[in-house]
Amino acid sequence: LAKTTQPISMDSYEGQEVNITCSHNNIATNDYITWYQQFPSQGPRFIIQGYKTKVTNEVASLFIPADRKSSTLSLPRVSLSDTAVYYCLVASISGAGSYQLTFGKGTKLSVIP
């Protein structure tokens, strides 16, 4: 299963752009990179997914370089409500042949007023 590494925590002021970088050195050719967000007392929520180059949706952008060994989640102009844990994931085939999301500890983002 592909392993990801990301910072344990980050702080940011309101209104700033936040970039969270994740490394996934052993990503396989068919793997996609996915980011989830989790608020306290809630289940994780899908944010964005990409394969290479840049993907943008209404809440975030995802930058993936050509070698795909890392990715960067970009949150524009964060607000207090963006305080959460952000997980970088690669869906990989398990020993049983199913695609699995392997969660690490994630990055705890704290937005400061």
Partner 1 sequence: EAGVAQSPRYKIIEKRQSVAFWCNPISGHATLYWYQQILGQGPKLLIQFQNNGVVDDSQLPKDRFSAERLKGVDSTLKIQPAKLEDSAVYLCASSQERGNTDTQYFGPGTRLTVL
Contact footprint for partner 1 (CB under 8 A): 30-32, 41-46, 49, 87, 91-106
Q: Measured from the CB atom, is 79 or 94 closer to partner 1? A: 94
Rounded to whole angstroms, what are the CA distances from 10 to 82, 88, 91, 100, 111?
12, 14, 24, 27, 9
* Nearer residue to partner 1 within complex by CB, 36 or 70: 36
Q: Which is nearer to partner 1, 97 or 113 (CB)?
A: 97
Residue 68 C-beta: closest distance to partner 1, Å: 14
Q: How many CB atoms lie within 10 A of CB 93?
A: 14
* 8-state DSSP, 15: T
Least distance CB 94 / partner 1 (angstroms): 6
Taking the C-alpha atoms of residue 55 and residue 49, their distance in angstroms, rounded to an integer, is: 7
